[in-house]
Amino acid sequence: MIETHHLSKVYSRGLYALRDLTLTIEKAEFVFLTGPSGAGKSTFLRLLLLQERPSEGEVFVNGQNLATLSRSEIQEYRRGIGFIFQDFKLIPSRTVLENISFVPEVLGVPAAQQRRRAFQVLKWVGLQHRMNAYPHDLSGGEQQRIAIARALVNDPVLVIADEPTGNLDPDLSLEIMNLLREINAGGTTVLVATHDRELIRLVGRRTITLEQGKVVEVA
């Protein structure tokens, strides 16, 4: 699913965020990416989302070399990825249902289909009764479940989560992880960046540890 070959990302003044990273993540795999702050976890995810370009090396997703994608191919590629962030990134002026249906809406899906798909994923995360609420009316855990629903509404082949439990207490964190495990059980590849070692231990999946931009352990 994801392959990198000698991937490096250098910022100004020669500072390496990632250095010579070569790794493989299989299709339908659930993988944790961990390491201390500044290890390069978020940079790796940004490269996967094509928010940044590598300085050296290559990234292949589903056999596609990301460096060769045109603008329209990047848009097409991103439609197959669901993303979840620590700060949820919900639109405050839209209701819960609108936050989710926003994704199919901007992809040109007909209105009735947008709402149907949004409601389905909302029901899946168990928040259908909150569909008309606004993000500021929800708890942190509920907001992250909405963000997960939004990530799933487009039926992605890959879900990328950057510190999805960073703002949540341990019980809610486990609840979110269970949702991600369920997504993975359906055949979707899930890549979670987190520095929460306890959570990784509880979920118990393959873990890639980064330090100073290098892979130091795969367990």
Q: Which residues would be at the binding site for another protein (CB under 8 A)?
A: 49, 51, 71-72, 74-79, 81, 83, 89, 91, 102-103, 105-108, 110, 154
Return the number of the residue (9 or 150) whose C-beta is nearest another protein: 150
- Six-digit token string for 42: 């978020």
Return the number of the residue (24 or 75) whose C-beta is nearest another protein: 75
Q: Rounded to the nearest whole angstrom, what is the least distance from the CB of residue 113 to another protein in the complex? A: 11
Residue with tokens 């709402």: 115
Q: Rounded to the nearest whole angstrom, what is the least distance from the CB of residue 216 to another protein in the complex? A: 29
Long-range contacts of 14-17 (CB under 8 A, 24+ apart): 16/212, 16/213, 17/43, 17/213
Residue with tokens 């659930």: 30
Of 203, 208, 215, give the one whose Cα is nearest residue 26: 208
Conformational region of residue 39, where left means phi above 0, alpha means psi within -120 to 50, and beta covers everything else: alpha
Q: Rounded to the nearest whole angstrom, what is the least distance from the CB of residue 146 to another protein in the complex? A: 12
Q: Rounded to the nearest whole angstrom, what is the least distance from the CB of residue 130 to another protein in the complex? A: 20
Return the number of the residue (36 or 110) whose C-beta is nearest another protein: 110
Cα distances (angstroms) measured from residue 46 to each of 37, 41, 95, 172: 15, 9, 27, 25
Q: Rounded to the nearest whole angstrom, what is the least distance from the CB of residue 89 to another protein in the complex? A: 6
H/E segment holding residue 191: strand 189-193
Return the number of the residue (49 or 172) whose C-beta is nearest another protein: 49
- Six-digit token string for 131: 């569909």
Kindly give the residue spans of alpha helices, DSSP state H, lying in 79-192: 96-106, 111-124, 140-152, 170-185
Return the number of the residue (81 or 191) whose C-beta is nearest another protein: 81
Q: Rounded to the nearest whole angstrom, what is the least distance from the CB of residue 201 to another protein in the complex? A: 30
Return the number of the residue (80 or 140) whose C-beta is nearest another protein: 80
